[in-house]
Structure 1
Amino acid sequence: MEGGYVAQTKYVLQNVEQDEKVKLLNGHSERLAMSYVLLVTNDTTPICIMKNLRVCSDCHTFIKLASELLEREIIVRDAKRFHHFRNGFHVKKLRDLGRVDTPFFSGKRMSCS
């Protein structure tokens, strides 16, 4: 696959064929939200997604690789924390994005609104 992504179907607990497991993973809300955002925003806008459930490990890997391929910052807020992705890296798991002290963000304040 492009970018090194291979669906991690071990996280699908339903007793279905492999192809169906991949389809189930592709239907996760954060992936659908990313698809929509890519259609309606320009190439430089950071992607910010909020959801009320936890992000599965497969989606975490997918979003990390997508941030590198798309060359965009992606912020995902799940039920427990913020996940910040940039250039193919999960920068830091943050509960509060009030201040980000990393070389990637240089103190820049970002919010999901």
Structure 2
Amino acid sequence: MTTEAPDPAPARSIPAPALRETADIWFDTGRDPVIVWDAEGRTFRLQDPRDATCSLHLVTYPAGVRSPAELAAALAEGLAACDFPPTADGAAAGHVASALRAYGISPPPG
């Protein structure tokens, strides 16, 4: 009998099942991804919920945001709606900015 390892996804994450196709292309793990953020609420990534090495950079702010979970939800929904094509190591800044603006959130400067 085999048991699955416990889910090591950090508490600073939200499910992003609508981004499964992107996750399947980049990670090929067969699991719905999550959007995770760092302790400061600055950096956001699309990540496999059980393997942190399978991740794709989405956006980094110069300082922590007020509501990281709200921003992560906007990224999850907004990027799924625009069917974003990632670059070699992350989401294109223009797609992220458009997704955030659609939810009334200012993208990071630069």
TM-score by length of 2: 0.28
TM-score by length of 1: 0.28
Whose radius of gyration is greater, 1 or 2?
Answer: 1
Higher helix share: 1
Pick 1 or 2: higher relative contact order, CA cutoff 8 A, min separation 6: 2
